[in-house]
Chain A
Amino acid sequence: MTRKQRRLTLIGVAGCVLAIAIGLVLYAMNDTIVFFNSPADIQAKNVQPGTRFRLGGLVKEGTVVRGSDQQISFEVMDAEATVKVNYKGLLPDLFREGQGIVAEGVLEQPGFFRADTVLAKHDENYMPREVADTLKKQGHWQGEAQAAPATQ
Chain B
Amino acid sequence: MLVEAGHFALALALGLSLIQFVVPLWGARSNDPVLMAVAPTTALAVLGCIAFAFFALTVAYVTSDFSVLNVVENSHSTKPMIYKISGVWGNHEGSMLLWVLILALFGGVVALAKSSVPARLQANTLAVQAAITIAFLLFILTTSNPFTRVIPAPAEGQDLNPLLQDPGLAIHPPLLYIGYVGFSISFAFACAALIDGRIDAVWARIVRPWTLGAWAFLTLGIAMGSYWAYYELGWGGWWFWDPVENASLMPWLAGTALMHSTVVMEKRDALKVWTILLAILTFSLSLLGTFLVRSGVLTSVHSFAVDPARGSFILGILIIFIGGSLALFAWRAPMLRQGGLFAPVSREGALVLNNLFLATACATVFVGTLYPLALEVMTGEKISVGAPFFNATFLPLIVPLLLLLPLGQTLAWKRGNLLGTAQRLYAVFGIVLLATMALLAFRHGGPVAAPLGIGLGVYLVLGSLNEIVTRSWSKEKGLSMAWRKAAGLPRSTWGTFIAHAGVGLTVIGIAATAWGVEGLGSLKVGESLRAGAYEARLERVTPRVEANYREDVAVLTVLRDGREMGTLETMKRLYVTRGMPTTEAGIMTIGLGQVYASVGEMQPDGSVGIRLYHKPLVLLIWIGSVVMALGGGISLTDRRLRIGAPARAKAAPVAAVPAE
- Residues in A lying within 8 Å of B, measured CB to CB: 1, 3, 6-7, 9-10, 13-14, 17-18, 20-21, 24-25, 27-29, 31-36, 54, 66, 68-70, 88-91, 93-94, 104, 120, 123-124, 129-130, 132-133, 136, 149, 151-152
**Contact A32:B389 (CB < 8 A) given known A10-B352, A89-B520, A90-B520:** yes
Residues of B within 8 A of A29 (CB): 371, 389
Cβ contact within 8 Å between B154 and A94: no
Residues of A within 8 A of B567 (CB): none
**B367 CB contact (under 8 Å) in A18, A25, A132:** A25
Cβ contact within 8 Å between A35 and B344: no
Say whether B603 faces chain A, with CB atoms less than 8 Å apart: yes
Interface majority SS (helix, strand, loop, mixed), chain B: mixed
Residues of A within 8 A of B233 (CB): 120
Nearest B-chain residue to A56, judged by Cβ: B382
Interface majority SS (helix, strand, loop, mixed), chain A: helix
Cβ contact within 8 Å between B392 and A70: no
**Contact A27:B392 (CB < 8 A) given known A34-B383, A136-B302:** yes
Residues of A within 8 A of B600 (CB): 70, 90-91
Cβ contact within 8 Å between A129 and B392: no
**Contact A6:B342 (CB < 8 A) given known A70-B522, A89-B611:** yes
**B344 CB contact (under 8 Å) in A3, A6, A68, A133:** A6
Nearest B-chain residue to A151, judged by Cβ: B154
Nearest Cβ on chain A to B439's Cβ, whole angstroms: 28
Cβ contact within 8 Å between A35 and B581: no
Nearest B-chain residue to A90, judged by Cβ: B600
Residues of A within 8 A of B386 (CB): 32, 34
**B389 CB contact (under 8 Å) in A33, A35, A136:** A33
Number of A-B contacts (CB under 8 A): 119
**Contact A24:B522 (CB < 8 A) given known A17-B356, A29-B389:** no
Residues of B within 8 A of A123 (CB): 299-300
- Residues in B lying within 8 Å of A, measured CB to CB: 154, 158, 161, 233-235, 298-303, 341-344, 352-353, 356-357, 360-361, 363-364, 367-368, 371, 381-386, 388-389, 391-393, 396-397, 520-522, 572, 580-583, 598, 600-601, 603, 609, 611
Given contacts A13-B356, A151-B154, A152-B154, 4 further A-B contacts (CB under 8 A): A35-B381, A91-B600, A130-B382, A132-B300
Q: Which of B299, B353, B361, B521 has the most CB of A within 10 A?
A: B299
Across the A-B interface, give the 3 residue pairs with the lowest CB-CB distance, nearest first: A32-B388, A90-B600, A36-B382
**A14 vs B434: C-alpha distance when bound (angstroms):** 34
**A33 CB contact (under 8 Å) in B234, B385, B598:** B385
Residues of A within 8 A of B158 (CB): 149
Residues of B within 8 A of A31 (CB): 388, 392
**A35 vs B580: C-alpha distance when bound (angstroms):** 30
Nearest Cβ on chain B to A27's Cβ, whole angstroms: 7
Cβ contact within 8 Å between A10 and B344: yes
Cβ contact within 8 Å between B343 and A21: no
**A132 vs B382: C-alpha distance when bound (angstroms):** 12
Nearest Cβ on chain A to B445's Cβ, whole angstroms: 24
Cβ contact within 8 Å between A21 and B360: yes
Residues of A within 8 A of B582 (CB): 93
Nearest Cβ on chain A to B436's Cβ, whole angstroms: 25
Cβ contact within 8 Å between A33 and B383: yes
**A146 vs B154: C-alpha distance when bound (angstroms):** 20
Residues of B within 8 A of A13 (CB): 344, 353, 356
Cβ contact within 8 Å between B393 and A24: yes
**Contact A90:B601 (CB < 8 A) given known A33-B383, A130-B382:** yes
**A33 vs B301: C-alpha distance when bound (angstroms):** 19
**A34 vs B303: C-alpha distance when bound (angstroms):** 23
**Contact A25:B364 (CB < 8 A) given known A14-B356, A69-B522, A123-B299:** yes
Cβ contact within 8 Å between B343 and A28: no
Nearest A-chain residue to B357, judged by Cβ: A17
Nearest Cβ on chain B to A119's Cβ, whole angstroms: 10
Cβ contact within 8 Å between B603 and A66: yes
Residues of B within 8 A of A32 (CB): 385-386, 388-389, 391-392
